[in-house]
Chains A and B, each alone.
Chain A
C-alpha cells in the first residue's frame, strides 16, 4: 500500500492564483482531512470528510474548498491564493466515518505540501 500520497511536494504561487493540492489514499478509509502547519501553532484543521459526498469545515476553512467524489481522493482547492496561506499542508485519513469509529482511530498522514504564496 502506498498509504496517503500528496502532490505536489512544493509549490510557489503568486497572490491571486488558484491551485489544487491533491491527496489520495489506498486504505479504503472513510475519514479524510486537511491540515495546515504553521510554526508555533501546531496543526489546524481546514476541512474534513466522513465519506464520499460528505464534507465539513474545520477550524480555518476560509479561502479553501474541498470535495469528495470518491473514497480515495480528497483534493484541496485554493480559490485565490494569499500570502497568509503560505504553510505546509498535510492530508490525513483514518478508518471510520459516520459510524463514529473515526473518534478512536489514529490518522495516517501524507508527506505534506510546502506552499509559498508571494
Chain B
C-alpha cells in the first residue's frame, strides 16, 4: 500500500536560516508527489509538485523540493526562512489506479520560524 511519512512533528528554524521539512514515500510504480501548506483556520494550499523530469522542483513563496528516487524522499526546502513561513506543511502522494487516483497525505509537520 502506498504511504507517506513525515518523520518530524515540528521543525524550528531561525529567520534567515535555511529550512528543510522531510518527507519519504512508499509506492509501487511512479509517484506523483505534492507539498501543501495550511495556515491557521484555513484550508490547504498547493505549494509544488513532482511529476517527472528535473529532480529539483520550484514552487510558491520561494519553496523548492528535491525528489530523490534512491532514497524515496521528497524534502521541502527554502534557502532563507521567513516568520510568515510558520504553518503546517503536508506531503502527499497520488497514484493512478484502474479507474481513478487516490491521494494519501502525511501526518504533517509544524514549521515554526523564530525572529
Contact = CB atoms under 8 A, between A and B. Distances in A.
Interface residues of B, number: 27
Contacts of A110: 43
A85 interface: no
A109 B96 contact: no
Contacts, number: 68
State the main secondary structure of chain B at its contact with A.
Answer: strand
A31 B42 contact: no
Contact of A103 (B36, B42, B45, B95): B95
Given A103-B94, A104-B94, A108-B46, A43 B105 contact: yes
Given A100-B96, A103-B95, A104-B51, A45 B102 contact: yes
A40 to B, nearest CB: 6
Contacts of A111: 42-43
Interface in B29-74: 32, 34, 36, 41-46, 49, 51
A28 B95 CA distance: 22
Given A42-B90, A43-B90, A45-B104, A103 B96 contact: yes
A103 B43 contact: no
Contact of B34 (A58, A96, A106, A108): A106
Contact of A104 (B41, B49, B107): B49
Interface of B: 6, 9, 32, 34, 36, 41-46, 49, 51, 90, 94-96, 99-108
Interface of A: 4, 31, 33, 35, 40-45, 48, 50, 56, 58-59, 90, 92, 96-98, 100, 102-104, 106-112
22 contacts: A4-B43, A31-B101, A33-B103, A42-B90, A42-B105, A42-B106, A45-B102, A45-B103, A45-B104, A50-B100, A58-B102, A59-B104, A90-B43, A90-B44, A92-B44, A100-B101, A102-B94, A103-B101, A104-B32, A106-B49, A109-B45, A112-B41
